[in-house]
């Protein structure tokens, strides 16, 4: 800016005067250059203002200042934060990476990675604006930046000062899961926990109920510690193949009031359970219903693996949250009728189920908010998240090999 002013003064010194008040330039080039310098000065002033705003935002992200403007979220120490999250209406949000989350997290925390470019899109799709969000990270910096971003979208956020490091220093409880866990909240605030056990085996915790999907004690050398888990309230079996139906696992999870639901052939093998055929629906309890949907092969050379009409997929509705567990299937026409899915489990291992290309097509048809590829064995899934990102589908890869 000083340089620009100096140039203007230099040009004025070169001017010649005619008459009393008339200012004349000696060369036309001087006029053009003077206008150019003036334009540069104006642009520089605006540019400096913009850069100041950008720097404030960057400092806010690093935790070196409160925000891009005035702070619009609350900070809480460990004691205040602990008292806050005792309220069942408060949603706990962990904004660290999935790897950090799985090493230990606060009980009932939902994990949305702040470093991902679609962070706010996931927040908007998963979290209501009429509930307080208790947010934390490792040290409090990422969560402060996240809280500020959320505040701009009308969320009421409370940030844990010092993050989980401060929490641990106060000897506060940390939950370390043996298996990967994803946590969701229903519309009324009830918690749904999805445990990635193995291959096609899923444990669901909901409203103090234990739900097991295709429990198998061991698959491909990986043993599942069902004996260490609570007994099952509900067990769902999609079909009779060994990686879906295991009498020993069912026996371990069984208690007097366990209810088992299965396709006809699996129920016959077990000699127990409620039979559900394709198209059957049942209200199991308040806020819990199930619909059996088709699951079968369409590739000519693979029809013998899962013939049409024999096996089930399931749509579980938990307090309004719809979870589609596809079972062993390809991208079948019946998927066109499956609507309003919040969470989907789609298989991916030809020749038994889908190729990655088929899975992507199925996901675009069903359009879940969150997608878990499962039953995938050694299939390479690395391109699936990228291909579905533009569709607004949150793809989560867990250990469902």
| Residues carrying an active site annotation | 137
Direct distance between the N- and C-terminal alpha carbons of the chain, in angstroms, rounded to an integer: 62
Facing residues of 321 across strands? 318
Contact 127, 151 (CB under 8 A): no
Q: Which of 282, 89, 121, 112 is CA-nearest to residue 186? A: 89
Q: Which of 180, 225, 184 is CA-nearest to residue 401? A: 180
**Residue 351 preceded by cis peptide, ω within 30:** yes
Contact 343, 369 (CB under 8 A): yes
Facing residues of 237 across strands? 262
3-state SS class at 78: helix
CB-based contacts of 119, cutoff 8 Å, min separation 6: 95, 112, 113, 146, 149
Q: Which of 36, 155, 42 is CA-nearest to residue 93? A: 155
Contact 319, 283 (CB under 8 A): no
- Alpha carbon distances (Å) from 38 to 6, 7, 34, 42, 86: 11, 10, 6, 6, 61
Query: What is the length of the chain?
Result: 401
Distance separating alpha carbons of residues 217 and 328, to the nearest angstrom = 19
Distance separating alpha carbons of residues 91 and 133, to the nearest angstrom = 5
């Amino acid at each position: 800016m000083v340089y620009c002013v100096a140039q203007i003064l230099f040009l004025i010194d070169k001017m010649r005067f005619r008459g009393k008040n008339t200012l004349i330039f000696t060369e036309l080039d001087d006029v053009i250059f003077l206008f150019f310098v003036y334009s540069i000065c104006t642009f520089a002033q605006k540019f400096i203002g913009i850069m100041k705003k950008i720097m404030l935002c960057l400092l806010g992200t690093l935790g070196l200042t409160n925000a891009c403007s005035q702070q619009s979220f609350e900070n809480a120490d460990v004691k205040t934060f602990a008292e806050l999250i005792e309220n069942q209406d408060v949603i706990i949000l962990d904004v660290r990476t999935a790897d950090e989350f799985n090493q230990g997290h606060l009980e009932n925390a939902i994990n949305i990675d702040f470093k991902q470019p679609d962070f706010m899109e996931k927040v908007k799709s998963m979290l209501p604006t009429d509930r307080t969000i208790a947010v934390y990270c490792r040290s409090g910096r990422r969560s402060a930046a996240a809280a500020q971003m959320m505040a701009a979208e009308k969320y009421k956020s409370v940030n844990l000062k010092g993050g989980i490091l401060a929490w641990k220093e106060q000897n506060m409880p940390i939950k370390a899961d043996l298996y990967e866990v994803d946590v969701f909240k229903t519309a009324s605030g009830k918690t749904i926990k999805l445990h990635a056990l193995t291959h096609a085996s899923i444990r669901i915790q909901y409203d103090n109920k234990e739900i097991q999907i295709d429990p198998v004690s061991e698959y491909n050398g990986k043993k599942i510690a069902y004996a260490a888990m609570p007994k099952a309230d509900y067990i769902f079996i999609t079909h009779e193949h060994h990686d879906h139906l295991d009498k020993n696992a069912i026996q371990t999870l069984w208690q007097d009031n366990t209810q088992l639901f299965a396709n006809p052939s699996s129920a016959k093998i077990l000699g127990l359970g409620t039979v559900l055929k394709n198209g059957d629906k049942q209200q199991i309890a308040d806020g819990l219903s199930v619909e059996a949907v088709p699951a079968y092969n369409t590739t000519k050379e693979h029809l013998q693996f899962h013939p049409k009409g024999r096996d089930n997929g399931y749509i579980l509705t938990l307090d309004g949250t719809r979870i589609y567990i596809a079972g062993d299937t390809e991208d079948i026409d019946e998927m066109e009728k499956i609507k309003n899915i919040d969470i989907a489990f789609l298989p991916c291992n030809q020749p038994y189920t889908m190729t990655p290309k088929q899975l992507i097509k199925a996901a675009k048809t069903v359009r879940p908010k969150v997608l878990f590829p499962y039953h995938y064995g050694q299939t390479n899934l690395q391109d699936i998240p990228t291909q579905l990102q533009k569709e607004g589908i949150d793809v989560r890869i867990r250990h469902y090999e």
